[in-house]
């Protein structure tokens, strides 16, 4: 199957094959998502936003935590899937899934105490706009966790550069600082783990 087709589906899952891609992403990225959710630390009193939830592997522990969980994804296929899988939580007013982009999050300012995004920063047209919008929807002191595969590892995959923009940790931390996040730090489960998470707080 053409690498560009796969890359496009990773960036924006659509249709039947998009659902397959979502399932594969869940399996492949389970460890990174679990680590990111752990660092986020959701609880029943929290309002949590996940940006680019894709196949929804992180949504399950977020919903199970008892938090109010909102999700934004640019893929209507993934939004419809989340609405179906978590229909009870949606009906109970404990979940809300919407189609949208990180550059224009469809939520009011200071709506959330915690935010999460995993394996999405490669597809953002602008780190400044993305982190600026996340800063807007987080309340003061709100926590953000960003899971990603750093540039040095991602470059080895030879993804199409017009679809994937590889991101170095220093670039993400600089953009977070510019967007007025504070205390940004890089974390890994072990020193040899290829992927990482950045934890920061809204200033």
| Tens digits of residue pLDDT in 49-77 | 999 998 889 999 999 999 999 999 999 98
- CATH number for the domain formed by residue range(s) 3-202: 3.40.50.150
pLDDT for 18 equals: 45
pLDDT for 168 equals: 96
pLDDT for 20 equals: 45
1 has pLDDT over 50: no
Per DSSP, 53 falls in state -
Return the higher-pLDDT residue of 118 and 3.
118
The residues that bridge with 146 in the sheet, in sequence order, are: 117, 198
pLDDT for 17 equals: 43
**Cβ(193)–Cβ(186) below 8 Å:** no
pLDDT for 159 equals: 79
Beta-strand runs (E) in the chain: 47-51, 68-73, 95-99, 112-118, 138-148, 181-187, 196-202
Percent above pLDDT 90 for the chain = 75
Determine phi and psi for 101, rounding to 5 degrees.
-125, 160
pLDDT for 178 equals: 98
Average pLDDT, integer, range 90-98: 98
- Mean pLDDT (the chain) is 88
Q: Which helix (H) or strand (E) holds 111?
A: none
pLDDT for 30 equals: 85
174 has pLDDT over 90: yes
| Token code pair at residue 65 | 């935590």
Reported confidence tier of residue 144, pLDDT bands at 50, 70, 90: very high
Reported confidence tier of residue 23, pLDDT bands at 50, 70, 90: very low
Residues 6+ apart with CB under 8 A from 43: 65, 66, 67
pLDDT for 97 equals: 98
Residue 173 exposed, middle or buried by CB count within 10 Å (0-12, 13-18, 19+): middle
Beta-strand runs (E) in 74-120: 95-99, 112-118
- Ordered strands of the 112-118 beta sheet: 95-99, 68-73, 47-51, 112-118, 138-148, 196-202, 181-187
Helix, strand, or coil here: 105? coil
Using CA atoms, how far apart are residues 172 and 184, in angstroms rounded to an integer? 9
pLDDT for 191 equals: 93
Strand-pair category, 196-202 with 95-99: unpaired
Reported confidence tier of residue 155, pLDDT bands at 50, 70, 90: confident
39 has pLDDT over 90: yes
């Amino acid at each position: 199957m053409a690498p560009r087709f796969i890359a496009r589906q990773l960036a924006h899952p659509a249709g039947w094959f998009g659902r397959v891609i979502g399932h594969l992403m869940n399996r492949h990225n389970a460890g990174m998502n679990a680590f990111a959710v752990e660092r986020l630390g959701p609880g029943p009193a929290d309002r949590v936003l996940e940006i680019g939830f894709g196949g929804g592997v992180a949504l399950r522990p977020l919903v199970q935590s008892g938090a109010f969980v909102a999700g934004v994804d640019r893929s209507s296929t993934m939004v419809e899937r989340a609405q179906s899988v978590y229909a009870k939580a949606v009906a109970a007013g404990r979940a809300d899934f919407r189609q949208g982009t990180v550059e224009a999050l469809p939520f009011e300012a200071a709506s959330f105490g915690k935010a999460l995004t995993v394996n999405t920063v490669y597809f953002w047209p602008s780190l400044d706009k993305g982190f600026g919008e996340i800063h807007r929807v987080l309340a003061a002191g709100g926590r953000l966790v960003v899971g990603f595969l750093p540039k040095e590892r991602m470059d080895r995959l030879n993804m199409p550069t017009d679809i994937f923009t590889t991101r170095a940790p220093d670039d993400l931390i600089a953009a977070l600082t510019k967007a007025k996040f504070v205390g940004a730090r890089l974390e890994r489960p072990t020193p040899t783990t290829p992927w990482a998470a950045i934890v920061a707080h809204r200033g």
